[in-house]
Amino acid sequence: MHSTIKLILKLAFALAIIGWLLKSGKLDFSLVQQSLTSGYNWLYCILLLILQDCISGIRWRWLLQLNSEQEFPYPSMVRITWIGLFFNSFLPGAVTGDFIKLLYIKDLDPKMSKTYLVTSVLIDRILGLTGLLCIMGVSSVIFYSELVTISKQMEYLLHINLLLFAGALGFLTFLFAPKVLQQKMLNLSESIPVLGDKIYKTLNSVWMIGQNKRVLLQCLLISVFLQTINFAAFYVISSPFYTTEIPFKYIITLIPIGFMFVAVPISPAGLGVGHVVFERLFSYVEVAGGASFFNLYFLALVFVNSFGFLPYILGGKKHSLEEADHLAQES
């Protein structure tokens, strides 16, 4: 019941934003029809998103293998990843898809602890965001002197980018914390009432992953590559409709910022929120239609994520939302 109310509120919020964008003329659905009849951009975008989803299972697979003697077949990881994407896009809460995925991984390795399972998917998500923050941070540093002259809003965004980039580097430093510091923090966590044991186990799992620097570096590199694919998918489907040519240094800064906001699970797959954010971001470079550009990408993304329904229905054993909620409460 709680999940249903949560979904209704999220959808109402997102639809209210969409309604406001339509009424104000900032969202043009006719662009969808134009894009479908103006070449192969939809096909290229969809293929890029499919490629991204197929590769993303590799990163999580590497993290899981660090604490398991079981072999996680790559086809199974792709199937589980796609099921998670389907639930994340169409059902309440980004954690829904994550915990559905954990149930399927538990089937492959029943011995793996719930704490490590939850930690692995958390680190997987953080590494994905870290890849995005690295792109944002590096582009902000390289093009800072040119971008900062655009407007006060852009200057403000650049400073936020640099702050978040510093935070991402701080997180990586935390993963590689010295053993002495790790042990002190573990001892301190044990003294915390009620949640101490859970915090201890989570930190222990985090630093277990942090011990494998080579794997983490590989995961970070693949995260940057995946975010680049995502960035390319947005650009491919939206660029034919830019009212004026936008220099690459603006594009590589603006689009990642938009994706960062969309990553926050305020609404299903960024519905509404992403439309507003991209409308504002493109206005900074005096290009109208940011909401409509995101709308094209959003429809392609939801279309690709909906493919996860097939492996869920046809893949044999099916885990329910009730099981996912139960696992979430236990974790």
Q: Which of 312, 258, 302, 306 is nearest to 283 (CA)?
A: 258
Residues 213, 18 contacting (CB under 8 angstroms): no
pLDDT at 201: 83
pLDDT at 331: 65
Distance, CA of 262 to CA of 272 (rounded, Å): 9
Q: Exposure pattern of 223-246 as b/e (b: 16+ CB <10 Å)?
A: bbebbbbbbbbbbbbbeebbeeeb
Quote the Cα angle for 222-260-52, to 5°: 35
Residues 85, 25 contacting (CB under 8 angstroms): no
Tell me the DSSP string of 13-65.
HHHHHHHHHHHTT---THHHHHHHTSSSHHHHHHHHHHHHHHHHHHHHHHHHH
Residue 144 in tokens: 């800072």
Helix and strand element counts for the chain (H, E): 16, 0
pLDDT at 62: 93
Q: Which of 273, 254, 253 is nearest to 263 (CA)?
A: 273
- The separation between CA 177 and the C-alpha centre of its own chain, rounded to angstroms, equals 25
Angle between the 248-262 and 114-142 helix axes, to the nearest 10 degrees? 150
Residue 145 in tokens: 């002197």
Residue 127 in tokens: 């590494």
pLDDT in 10s for each residue of the chain, 331 residues: 455 556 566 666 666 766 766 676 667 778 888 888 878 899 999 999 999 999 998 999 999 999 888 889 999 999 999 999 988 887 655 457 888 899 999 999 988 888 889 889 889 988 998 999 899 888 888 888 888 888 788 888 888 888 888 988 888 888 888 888 888 888 888 788 777 888 888 888 888 888 888 998 999 999 999 999 999 999 999 999 988 888 888 888 888 888 888 876 666 666 777 888 898 888 888 888 888 899 899 889 989 999 998 888 887 778 877 787 777 777 6
**pTM for this one?**
0.86
HSE of 145, CA atoms in CB hemisphere, 13 A: 1
Q: Is 158 exposed, middle or buried (0-12, 13-18, 19+ CB in 10 A)?
A: buried
- The separation between CA 10 and the C-alpha centre of its own chain, rounded to angstroms, equals 18
Distance, CA of 153 to CA of 282 (rounded, Å): 12
Residues 258, 274 contacting (CB under 8 angstroms): yes
